[in-house]
A and B are shown apart, each in its own frame.
Chain A
């Protein structure tokens, strides 16, 4: 059974720092891995999707990497800003069951001015 874990559960950093959020999964047979952002009281916004055949994806100051064999993904945020404060969630689509995502519990990020 696929399980997704995110570490740390919470993170507080000063503005301007580069930071890394971690996501691990127990079964490497995945279609893709997705990173989302959730602001308090809001729905989720898709940030990046990495296909199982890819190693990384970039969007602006965000870079997500995928090491399928070790069951790990990282989300790198460069030059963090207070507007980056949110909860970041990762999720995977299992190969063979592409109908539902398996979710981590998220990392709550606070970027302090």
Chain B
């Protein structure tokens, strides 16, 4: 069965600092990968998804970017964090097609 790893689990960063969150998956090949953000008291917001290496679709224009350098690795980055980037970041995967979506444990990011 598939497993999703995210790190770090928690992160406190000053405004204007860079960000790199990593997601790696096991137990599956060629998955669709997703980055979501969940702000306090709000729903899930899809940020990026990827259907293959180097293929990134952006859902929300902002100061974040994503990359998929390997089939089972998905990275979320920012050059300069904003206060509004605070939230709970979740990595998820589905198999090919409209499949069950599986989630990682999440990263809690606080920007001060």
Contact = CB atoms under 8 A, between A and B. Distances in A.
Interface string A28-41: 00011010100001
Contacts of A44: 90, 92, 101, 103
Contact of B98 (A42, A93, A106): A93
A100 B34 contact: yes
Contacts of A42: 105-106
B90 A43 contact: yes
Interface string A80-99: 00000000010101000011
A54 interface: no
Contact of A99 (B44, B49, B88): B49
Given A89-B44, A103-B43, A106-B43, A41 B100 contact: no
Main secondary structure of the interface of B (DSSP, over half): strand
B97 interface: yes
Interface residues of B, number: 24
B104 interface: yes
Interface in A43-96: 43-46, 49, 89, 91, 93
B32 interface: yes
How many chain A residues sit at the interface, stated as a range, is: 20 to 34
B98 A43 contact: no
Interface of B: 4, 32, 34, 42-44, 46, 49, 51, 57, 59, 88, 90, 92, 97-98, 100-106, 108
Interface of A: 31-32, 34, 36, 41-46, 49, 89, 91, 93, 98-101, 103-106
13 contacts: A34-B100, A43-B105, A44-B101, A46-B102, A49-B100, A89-B44, A93-B98, A99-B51, A99-B57, A100-B34, A100-B46, A103-B46, A105-B42
